[in-house]
Amino acid sequence: MGPGDRTRSLAGVDDGYESWLAAREIAWIADSCARLDTIGRRPVLSVIVPTYETPAPFLRACIDSVLAQTYGEWELCIADDGSRTPEVRDVLSDYARRDPRICVELLPTNGGIALATNTALALARGDYVAFLDHDDTLAPFALADVAIHLHDHAETDLLYSDEDRIDPKGRRVRPFFKPNWSPDLLRACNYVCHFLVVRRELVSALGGIRPGFDGAQDYDLVLRATEKARRVGHVPRVLYHWRATATSTARDVATKPGASDAGVKALREHLLRRDEDGDVDAPEPTQYRVRYRIKGSPLVTVVVTAAQGRLDRLQQTLGATRHSDLQLLVVGGALSPERVSWDGEPRIAAMRNRAIAHARGDFLVFLHDDVEIVDRTWLDELLGHAQRPDVGVVGTKLVYPDGTIQHAGLVVGLGGLVGRPFAHMTDANAWTSMGATTWTRNYLAVSGACLMVRKSHLDAVGGFDQRLGDIAATVDLCLRLGAHGLRTVYTPHTRLLHHGCDDTPSPGELDALRPLQRFLHDGDPFYNPNLSPCVGDGRLRERFADPELDAVLRRLVDTPAAAANGAVDQIRHALDARERSLLALQALLRQKNAQIAEMTARLDTLAAHQAGSLQALARRELDRRPRLKATLKRLLGR
């Protein structure tokens, strides 16, 4: 079961999606067909469909979507779980007779989703298996895009795509544009969900679907498969359409009340297999939280940089922190008990490096002096993540005094060099095209106003780059730790009030930000390329890729920063202008389409009128002909 089933949708989240999608799908199909002609070996893809009491129109639409694929090397493996309705079996038998690639097994009794899925898996002979629910549909280019990705990345063991939903009126709504592989997001929800493709050998080695996880059997499989997968891939296109019916969890997770309990069970067992100690619960249906248990009683050094001279709020609230093993260091201020003197320019990176030299703790948490602690367990939440061996940096949610979000992670290339997803949105469990605001996630970087790092990690990379400003130095640190295989984690499960604001890196810092440049070229892996490059609130990208502009951006990245000063802002303004022009053009096209429709209706009316007139003329002519013949006979008879 997928995420966000009971999250509140933001107003306008589906506005214009179908028209946006219509243009994109044409381009996606054309690109897919062109690239498909270039690949060599074509894997056989076994589409796995367990059915049970499926309404015939939905079942036909599901099977027809497989038959309509532009990629031909597939087989459709269907196991019916003892449906009592004869029409279900009639439909399946009919399709099996039509195409030899369709294999059907009819189970005599209802044995449950695990048995039905495993029965379908036993029919599979393909290189990979792809899971399709019995009332959902695939985009016509879905299997082609899968084959292309597997050709380009042969080591891929698990692959997923973006998805949307089909509402009861048949409209395409609620798109979900996902990040690339994000292990911590998977522990917050089954964001992988659809379209799931797994190497058949791996599924067989895992034993297929396990019984006892009904409602979350796919989540359990994804957790187990990602533990063993050499590579997890992502196709950033909408390949899957999840039908939201009255009994579907796509519409309301309450239709399967045991799904959350099954998901909690699957996640707990996943942690046990990974030898990680944590408590799991579901604060929202099918959305999970892991509270990692703190090992021992580690000393944590809290480093406060007094660059703003606003220590009063922090001093008043820091004492309420539950974790008691603390060393407090203040650089450049008077907050007790320990002060590190600072007489130079108040550059936060340099101030923090000075504090690192004085720190006794195994873990360091860096704070701006204009934050306010509002949750006494904040340090426990950060420390639980920071103790994990594969985590480098941990950041948390920062909110403005009015309760809206200031920081919920950082995205490279958003609004310039680095931007803030979810900024200025309400701090609530609201759905956007990139998911909900309340999920633990991985990012390339988090805010420097509050972050925790293991001291040994800081020592290994030489601390902060003192040539850079605060946010640039923080991003640089996260990227350098990422290059060492350490993930950056953002947790929304604690929050701090931030009375100040963070700047963004300036173009003048681009030369020093060498790790950033690859992601400006290739895109941020945790931000879907279909989302707006200008704002991070889930709006969709309004322009297609512009090769000319992309070439300018690549030249800019390779240009010395001094010569590139101000160019990023110019490009941002140009992008904004292009988007505004495109929106205006779209409005004009809609107006012209309406005019064309009106003219077409008028022409149809005129044609019908003319056709009626011609018919009347023809009838009159036919009526005249007998009289004309009679007249000729009379004349000839004379």
The pLDDT of 346-367, averaged and rounded, is: 92
**561-581 tens-digit pLDDT:** 444 444 555 555 555 555 544
Q: What is the CATH number of domain 300-565?
A: 3.90.550.10
Q: Is pLDDT above 70 for 196?
A: yes
**437-446 tens-digit pLDDT:** 899 999 999 9
**524-543 tens-digit pLDDT:** 999 999 999 999 999 999 86
- Return the domain boundaries, the chain: 17-252, 300-565, 567-638
**198-207 tens-digit pLDDT:** 999 999 999 9
**pLDDT value of residue 417:** 85
**What confidence category does residue 557 fall into, taking pLDDT thresholds of 50, 70 and 90?**
very low
DSSP strand pairing (8-9 vs 430-432): parallel
Q: Which two tokens stand for residue 9?
A: 């949708």
**pLDDT value of residue 516:** 83
User: Helices (H), strands (E): how many in the chain?
Assistant: 18, 26
Strand ranges, E, within 82-122: 102-106
423 C-beta neighbours (distance < 10 Å), count: 17
The pLDDT of 115-132, averaged and rounded, is: 98
**pLDDT value of residue 199:** 98
Q: Is 532 helix (H, G, I), strand (E, B) or coil?
A: coil
Residues 6 or more apart whose CB falls under 8 angstroms from that of 125 comprise 44, 46, 75
526 C-beta neighbours (distance < 10 Å), count: 25
Q: How far apart are CA 127 and CA 480, in angstroms?
A: 37
Q: Rank 94-103, 422-431, 587-596, 619-628 by mean pLDDT and report only the highest.
A: 94-103
What's the mean pLDDT when you consider all of the chain?
85
Which of these, 543, 517, 516, lies nearest to 529 by C-alpha position?
Answer: 543
Per-residue CA distances from 587 to 99, 117, 171, 582 (Å): 44, 47, 21, 9
DSSP strand pairing (128-131 vs 137-138): unpaired
Percentage of the chain with pLDDT > 70? 76
Domain 17-252, classified CATH 3.50.50.60, yes or no: no
Look up residue 399 and give its amino acid: V
Q: How far apart are CA 242 and CA 215, in angstroms?
A: 15
Q: Is 520 helix (H, G, I), strand (E, B) or coil?
A: helix
**pLDDT value of residue 509:** 73
**131-189 tens-digit pLDDT:** 999 999 999 999 999 999 999 999 999 999 999 999 999 999 999 999 999 999 999 99
Burial class (CB in 10 A: 0-12, 13-18, 19+), 225: buried
Topology match between the domains 17-252 and 300-565 = yes
